[in-house]
Each structure stands twice: as structure tokens, then as C-alpha cells.
Amino acid sequence: MTLEACLARIAQDWESLTPSTRIHARYHALDGSEAIYGSDPTSVGLDMVADRGFAFDVGSRTTIEESADDLVRCVYQVVATLIASVGEIGHRDASESLAADIRQLARAVEDRSTWPAGVLEVLTGAAEINEPEEDSGLASATLELMLFVEEE
């Protein structure tokens, strides 16, 4: 499916990056695969060896256009969540560090010029930096993505 191929491509791009705020870390999918759908990041068993875990939550799918040859153009609203261990970056620096990381991930999406077959365009939207959670020791940020795809 086009959606999975697109998210796999984004995950691959992100996993090849080194966070500018922690050069010895790497971004990684929270479950070890390219994508997680509908995950609650605080309930996922986190591999904090490389503490920049991410997950995708696919929200809505909206049909934009249907053609006579059974192709449908649609847009998926996806929220990418980035999780970091506060123990690695400290409560005071968590927001600044995550803001830099989420900008880096957004740029990686924006700079990609080719996508898997059927992916027409991927746009980044709003980013939000969340306050670190005292209980879990985790901090998170989200990035909205809009995936415009053509499916059968």
C-alpha cells in the first residue's frame, strides 16, 4: 500500500540522521519497524539506548478525487511523535532539544524530491513541543504530516 511505503521511506530517512543535539544518538522507530499506527508513546516499551524514538499515528483519510480508471487521490493526516528520554537531555533543555530535532525531521521530509510510486506529495504541518512528563521521564514533540497519494 502506498501509505506504508511512504511512511517506510520517511522512517528510513529519519533513521539515517544524527540528532544535532546528541551526535552519539540515532533516531529509531519505537517498535523496531518503520511505522507504528495508533500507538500511545508512553505505553510502548521504549528502547532508550538510542533515545530519539518516533512513531506514526495515521489519523484521517480524505478522498480528493476519483477517476474512471479506479484511481483515487486522497490525503492522509499523520502525526509523527518524537520521544526523548529526559534523563539524557535534562528537563531544562528538553524543549529546546526537541524543537531542534523536530525541525531536522521536518527538513528531511521537505528536502526529499522523490517518493515511492503513488505518492504525489508530502507536506509538513504544525509542530508542537510538549512539556516533559515527570512520571515517565519522557519528553515528546509532534509533527503533522499530510500525505497526498494515489491509490487503486
Q: What pTM value is reported for the model?
A: 0.83
Give the pLDDT confidence score for residue 7 in this predicted structure. Answer: 95
Give Cα separations from 120 to 37, 76, 149 (angstroms). Answer: 21, 12, 5
Note the Cα 127 to chain centre separation in Å: 11
Phi-psi region of 58 (alpha: psi -120 to 50; beta: other; left: phi over 0): beta
Question: CB–CB of 82/53 below 8 Å?
Answer: yes
Segment 107-126, tens digit of pLDDT: 999 999 999 999 999 999 99
Segment 136-146, tens digit of pLDDT: 778 889 999 99
Phi-psi region of 8 (alpha: psi -120 to 50; beta: other; left: phi over 0): alpha
Domains observed in the chain: 2-151 (3.30.2000.10)
Query: What's the mean per-residue pLDDT of the chain?
Result: 83
List of residues 6+ apart from 84 with CB closer than 8 A: 51, 52, 53, 94, 97, 98, 101, 138, 139, 140
